């Protein structure tokens, strides 16, 4: 289950078409030596790599998610953020992972932050929008709750903790707070919103604890990759290692699983 | 043929040599040259203070209980290495009986101060009955980095008696060890290194007190000084330099081998007091303060 | 895309391999194991599955007398002659040994009493160890703790502990007593003797002088014999208010000093500005921690009417993810009820609640077929005058009442003969201090609940008892201050 929820990610300044193509292959062939493994949910890349990824993934069913809006800092004029998003969509992105303007949010400019999210959502038409809060830059859980409610009201399909570029990222208090916002919204309106913790979830054990949190706080309806994603790069291999250990009873070595 | 020990400094949880590359002879009471110790320099003092400052916040934020466990561990490790210290003290000129007394008192003193870690707050802290409708409470807080000139009469006990009350209260220390008898201080550093004491909380320099003290007493990022039995001219110079950033200067001229040379006051010597106010809502029928 | 799956947690059982339970236990008197003069033993069972654990000695008056004599001799000849520093060292050793045997003690506690292994392992045992560590450090600092007051040990203390936190309550009794220079005779509750007996082994291993700690096992009659013994200087009791009153009566006309830690019906108050999700979690912890077998349990919930519907819905939803089951399973939240007798008491109160017209809510969950278990239970539409809102149930049953103003809830919270603890959930600091000032409770938890620490004094107002355990204040129970 956890494997099928991964957004396999590469977001480095030094990403090249070759790197992205290899990642896309790994996404479809996690560990061919083991039978019946699922594919990951999506591959997450910069807008400049969306076209490459789309071609490499073909008709595998794996989505292409693109970061945008001047990821990771979000410090750019709206015209730049708009172009960033449109470029990704034109190249075939199925999902957009946008960042909020943290500076504006901390300065109390909530209307601005709301309008930005709503505007990007409008561009998305059929693509699903994930809104990244970068909780490590926010001051308190009160703020995490506030931005969660705000983003959901502005049209987010998914709320996401982090860019993965700073620590702390997806800690349990932060995740629990966001799940609380999703639950309250569902209780009031019946509408489901997706959750994506990203950053810091590198072990299978942590992933399972996160899934248990979702099961108990939201319910089992959220336990599919339509409503829940892990933003991770090294998690996949740890899941494979642990799965292998469960099958064989022996602790595994990273040497037997390809990095990408 | 024995492998002789090299006595280095103890800074940041590691054992570097002095950056000045110098050493000096450690001579026992009978005139024997028993070892070479590092002759620490101004820059060593500077490095030690930097490291002590970095380590202090995390150390004071550990739970008091955690600190007590760490200091109790020091006692355990000291007990385990009793033999080593007895040998060193005797090599430095002590007789077996006095050496044994000194080491045993040192171990007991570690246990004593370990017990204070989560108790001094109950005695130094207060809830203050102010006349207005406010909850008003005072808590002790570590001063920060404390510079220590260890007692120059004893090789181990005085050193411990000055360092422990400072660190149990959440401070970090930079210690200039007994100039003539530095060996026990460095061996004690080995005890610290194996006692779960985070690196940088205790830093030990050996060498000339007269050369290194001014750097310490004049350092703007040192908050307090613990000075034992200094020559009055040196003491006065240090106190004058300390004025620049208003260091709290504690000068001790007592015999640390006495059982009375330990107590709550040695801890409170290196604690600030912070008082906080918060309004108390008047629910109808409510009185005022606490 | 995967389809929805229902997954249940696999049992994650803690191993019992490291625990060795003897078939039969004697009394621990004067540093040795001694067969009871009564020649009688009783059975101890595991409430999780009703299996037999061991035979425990049943001390009679003559046995109690032997124990008190041993304690007196040890006090006069040995313990009172030691310096505080030396007493402290024994206590440090005991604390260390307890830490080393932590897992064994936790498993033993769960087998004997039914509490979830997660709680025994993460709460009971660490707190018990830390309690010994904490008081070890006071032993040589009494003159500084009470300057100018001339603190002196009382002598020999008789101590009776309950079945809800057997090892922890033993630590709360023995650690301060020994630190202050007293010797003790302790009687653990009859359904949970095993960790006290293991503790006796630890005392032997620590080299504690014989007679300083004595453990006499038995039923209420053993406890009564201990209380009545003429050569005790102090009695300390944790248990029900009814028995506490009997003990207070029995001490009349004697010079015995007394401290009592009794029952409670503590109010847990949620104000409308509280962080609701956190408050809900706090309420769950307040009443279901340790199956509700907690004297300070937040068993009366007061919710401000403006948020009552929301809070109730969240509580009910939260109940669905509470796991009731095998205490040795690390997934378990609510373990076994301690005894058949207690389960019957709880079930009687649940029945009473229905008769009194309250509305009941229990989640759907399967209970194990053997053993004593109770579902977590909520009662709404409860009146202040209902018996279920007044009497201590001592189980996983929460009564819920609404209120309109702070003044009203403070009145209702205080409107009880008990006064052990209270909880207040609000975002306003000034309100926390304003309300806590008015509450007649010995422990007030603000925006949290069921937090314990050796440095924090614990004890009740009114019929919840008198005297404090923990902290600087906890030393007073075991000292006198002659002028």
Which numeric CATH code is attached to C267-446? 3.40.309.10
Q: How many pairs of residues across B and C have Cβ atoms under 8 Å apart?
A: 82
SS3 assignment, position B250: strand
- Residue in C with minimal Cα distance to B116: C137
Q: What is the pLDDT of residue C123?
A: 97
Q: Which position among A81, A121, A196, A238 bears the catalytic label?
A: A196
Chains A and C touch (3+ CB pairs under 8 A): yes
Q: What is the pLDDT of residue B6?
A: 84
Nearest partner of B135 among B282, B277, B281, judged by Cα: B277
Complex-level ipTM = 0.90
Q: What is the pLDDT of residue C7?
A: 73
Q: What is the pLDDT of residue C422?
A: 97
Q: What is the pLDDT of residue B287?
A: 57
| Fold annotation for C24-262+462-480 | Aldehyde Dehydrogenase; Chain A, domain 1 (3.40.605)
**Neighbouring C-beta atoms of residue C272, cutoff 10 Å:** 16
SS3 assignment, position B190: helix
A196 is known as an active-site residue: yes
Nearest-angstrom CA–CA distance, C313 and C308? 9
Token pair in block for residue B23: 């050493």
Only one residue has tokens 């700690």, namely C213
CA distance B61 to chain C (A): 17
Q: Do B123 and C472 touch (CB under 8 A)?
A: yes
| pLDDT per residue as tens, chain B (290 positions) | 777 788 999 999 999 999 999 999 998 888 888 899 999 999 999 999 999 999 999 999 999 999 999 999 999 999 999 999 999 999 888 999 999 999 999 999 999 999 999 999 999 999 999 999 999 999 999 999 999 999 988 899 999 999 999 999 999 999 999 999 999 999 999 999 999 999 999 999 999 999 999 999 999 999 999 999 889 999 999 999 999 999 999 999 989 988 889 999 999 999 999 999 999 998 875 555 56
Range of the domain at A142: 3-256
Q: Do A38 and C3 touch (CB under 8 A)?
A: no
Residues of B in contact with C138 (CB under 8 A): 115, 119
Nearest to A225 among C1, C5, C313 (CB): C1
Nearest to B286 among C139, C144, C437 (CB): C437
- Residue in C with minimal Cα distance to A40: C1
Token pair in block for residue C376: 């977590």
Q: Do C5 and A215 touch (CB under 8 A)?
A: no
Q: Between C102-113 and C166-179, two packed helices, what is the crossing angle to 10 degrees?
A: 130
- Residue in A with minimal Cα distance to C311: A184
CA distance C358 to chain B (A): 31
- What is the count of structural domains for chain A? 1
- Residue in A with minimal Cα distance to C1: A225
Low-confidence residues of chain C: pLDDT under 50: 1-4
Residues of C in contact with A207 (CB under 8 A): none
Nearest to C321 among A216, A223, A226 (CB): A216
Chain C contact present for B86, CB below 8 A: no
> pLDDT averaged over consecutive 10-residue blocks of chain A (260 residues)?
93 94 92 88 96 95 96 95 97 97 96 97 95 95 97 97 92 96 97 95 93 94 96 89 89 83
- Residue in C with minimal Cα distance to A181: C277
Residues of A in contact with C8 (CB under 8 A): none
CA distance A7 to chain C (A): 13
Q: Do A1 and C277 touch (CB under 8 A)?
A: no
A64: CATH: 3.20.20.70
What contacts C41, CB < 8 A, 6 or more positions away? C24, C55, C56, C57, C58
C261 is known as an active-site residue: yes
DSSP secondary structure code for residue C120 in this structure: I
Residues of C in contact with A220 (CB under 8 A): 4-7
Strand partners, A158: A130, A194
Q: Do C430 and B279 touch (CB under 8 A)?
A: yes
For C299, list phi and psi in degrees, rounded to 5: -90, -15
Nearest-angstrom CA–CA distance, B115 and C200? 24
CA distance A75 to chain C (A): 33
Distance of CA C390 to the CA centre of its chain: 20
Q: Which position among C129, C180, C295, C374 bears the catalytic label?
A: C295
> Which residues make up the CATH 3.40.605.10 domain(s) of chain C?
24-262+462-480
> Which residues make up the CATH 3.40.309.10 domain(s) of chain C?
267-446
Q: Which position among A84, A97, A157, A238 bears the catalytic label?
A: A97
Q: Which position among C261, C392, C463, C469 bears the catalytic label?
A: C261
Q: What is the pLDDT of residue C3?
A: 37
In contact, C448 and C426? CB cutoff 8 Å = no
DSSP secondary structure code for residue C279 in this structure: H
List of chains touching A (3+ CB pairs within 8 A): C
Q: Do C144 and B264 touch (CB under 8 A)?
A: yes
Test mutation, C82, C134, C426, chain B, max B CBs within 10 A: C134
CA distance C323 to chain A (A): 11
Chain C contact present for B125, CB below 8 A: no
Distance of CA A251 to the CA centre of its chain: 29
Q: What is the pLDDT of residue B290?
A: 64
Chain C contact present for A213, CB below 8 A: no
């Amino acid at each position: 289950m956890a494997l099928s929820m991964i957004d396999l990610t590469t977001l480095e300044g030094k990403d090249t078409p070759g790197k992205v193509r290899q990642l896309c292959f790994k996404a479809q062939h996690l560990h061919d030596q083991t039978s019946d493994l699922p594919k990951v949910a999506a591959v997450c890349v910069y807008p400049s790599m969306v076209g490459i990824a789309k071609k490499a993934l073909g008709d595998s069913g794996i989505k292409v998610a693109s970061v945008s809006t001047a990821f990771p800092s979000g410090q750019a004029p709206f015209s730049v953020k708009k172009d960033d998003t449109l470029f990704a969509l034109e190249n075939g992105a199925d999902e957009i992972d946008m960042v909020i303007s943290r500076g504006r949010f901390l300065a109390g400019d909530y209307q601005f932050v709301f309008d930005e999210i709503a505007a990007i959502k409008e561009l998305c038409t059929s693509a699903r929008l994930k809104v990244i809060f970068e909780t490590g830059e926010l001051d308190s859980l009160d703020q995490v709750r506030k931005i969660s409610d705000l983003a959901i009201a502005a049209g987010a399909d998914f709320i996401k903790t982090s860019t993965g570029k700073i620590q702390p990222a997806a800690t349990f208090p932060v995740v629990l707070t966001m799940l609380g916002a999703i639950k309250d919204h569902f209780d009031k309106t019946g509408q489901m919103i997706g959750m994506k913790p990203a950053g810091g979830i590198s072990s299978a054990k942590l992933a399972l604890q996160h899934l248990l949190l979702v099961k108990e706080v939201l319910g089992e309806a959220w336990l599919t990759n339509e409503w829940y994603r892990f933003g991770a790069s090294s998690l996949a291999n740890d899941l494979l290692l642990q799965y292998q250990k469960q099958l064989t009873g022996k602790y595994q070595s990273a040497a037997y699983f390809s990095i990408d | 043929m024995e492998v002789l020990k090299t006595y280095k400094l103890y800074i940041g949880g590691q054992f570097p040599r002095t950056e000045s590359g110098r050493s000096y002879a450690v001579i026992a009471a009978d005139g024997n040259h028993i070892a070479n110790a590092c002759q620490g320099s101004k820059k060593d003092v500077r490095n030690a203070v930097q490291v002590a400052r970095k380590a202090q916040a995390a150390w004071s934020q550990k739970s008091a209980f955690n600190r007590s466990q760490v200091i109790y561990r020091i006692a355990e490790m000291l007990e385990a290495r009793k033999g080593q210290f007895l040998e060193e003290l005797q090599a430095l000129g002590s007789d077996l009986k006095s050496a044994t007394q000194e080491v045993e008192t040192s171990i007991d003193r570690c246990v004593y101060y370990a017990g204070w870690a989560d108790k001094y707050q109950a005695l130094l802290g207060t809830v203050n009955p102010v006349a207005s409708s406010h909850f008003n409470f005072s808590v002790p807080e570590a001063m920060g980095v404390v510079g220590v000139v260890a007692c120059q009469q004893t090789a181990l006990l005085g050193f411990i008696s000055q360092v422990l009350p400072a660190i149990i209260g959440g401070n970090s220390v930079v210690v200039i060890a007994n100039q003539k008898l530095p060996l026990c201080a460095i061996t004690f550093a080995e005890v610290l290194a194996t006692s779960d004491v985070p690196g940088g909380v205790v830093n030990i320099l050996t060498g000339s007190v007269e050369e290194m003290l001014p750097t310490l007493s004049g350092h703007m990022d040192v908050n307090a000084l613990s000075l034992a039995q200094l020559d009055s001219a040196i003491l006065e110079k240090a106190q004058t330099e300390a004025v620049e950033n208003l260091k709290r200067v504690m000068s001790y001229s007592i015999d640390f081998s006495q059982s009375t040379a330990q107590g709550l006051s040695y801890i409170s010597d290196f604690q600030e007091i912070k008082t906080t106010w918060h309004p108390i809502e008047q629910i109808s029928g409510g009185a005022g303060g606490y | 895309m995967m389809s929805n799956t229902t997954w249940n947690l696999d049992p994650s059982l803690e191993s019992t391999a490291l625990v060795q339970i003897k078939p039969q236990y004697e009394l621990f008197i004067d540093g040795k194991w001694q067969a009871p003069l009564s020649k009688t033993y009783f059975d101890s069972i595991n409430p999780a599955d009703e299996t037999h654990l061991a035979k425990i000695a049943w001390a009679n008056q003559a046995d109690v007398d032997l124990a008190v004599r041993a304690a007196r001799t040890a006090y006069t000849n040995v313990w009172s002659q030691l310096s505080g520093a030396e007493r402290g060292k024994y206590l440090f050793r005991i604390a260390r040994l307890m830490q080393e045997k932590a897992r064994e003690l936790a498993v033993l506690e769960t087998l004997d009493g039914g509490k979830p292994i997660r709680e025994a392992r993460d709460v009971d045992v660490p707190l018990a160890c830390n309690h010994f560590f904490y008081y070890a450090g006071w032993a040589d600092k009494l003159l500084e703790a009470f300057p100018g007051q001339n603190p002196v040990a009382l002598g020999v203390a008789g101590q009776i502990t309950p079945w809800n936190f057997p090892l922890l309550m033993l630590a709360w009794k023995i650690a301060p007593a020994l630190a202050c220079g007293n010797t003790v005779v302790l009687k653990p509750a009859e359904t949970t003797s095993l960790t006290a007996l293991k503790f006796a082994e630890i005392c032997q291993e620590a080299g504690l002088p014989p007679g300083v700690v004595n453990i006499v096992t038995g039923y209420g009659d053993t406890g009564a014999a201990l209380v009545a013994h003429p050569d005790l200087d102090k009695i300390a009791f944790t248990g029900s208010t009814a028995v506490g009153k009997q003990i207070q009566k029995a001490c009349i006309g004697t010079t015995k000093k007394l401290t009592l830690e009794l029952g409670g019906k503590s109010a847990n108050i949620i104000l409308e500005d509280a962080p609701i999700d956190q408050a809900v979690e706090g309420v769950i912890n307040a009443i279901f921690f340790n199956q509700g077998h907690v004297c300070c349990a937040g068993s009366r919930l007061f919710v401000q009417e403006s948020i009552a519907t929301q809070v109730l819905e969240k509580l009910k939803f939260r109940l669905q993810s509470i796991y009731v089951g095998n205490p040795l399973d690390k997934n378990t939240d609510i373990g076994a009820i301690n005894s058949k007798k207690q389960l019957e008491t709880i079930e009687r109160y649940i029945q009473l609640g229905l008769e009194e017209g309250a509305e009941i809510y229990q989640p759907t969950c399967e209970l194990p077929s053997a053993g004593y278990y109770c579902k977590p239970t909520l009662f709404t539409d409860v009146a202040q005058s209902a018996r279920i809102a007044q009497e201590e149930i001592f189980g996983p049953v929460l009564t819920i009442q609404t209120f309109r103003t702070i003044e009203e809830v403070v009145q209702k919270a205080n409107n009880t003969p008990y006064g052990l603890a209270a909880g207040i959930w609000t975002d306003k600091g000034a309100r926390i201090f304003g309300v806590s000032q008015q509450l007649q409770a010995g422990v007030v938890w603000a925006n949290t609940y069921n937090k314990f620490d050796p440095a924090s004094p614990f004890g009740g107002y009114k019929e919840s008892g008198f005297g404090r355990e923990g902290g600087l204040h906890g030393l007073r129970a075991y000292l006198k201050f002659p002028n």
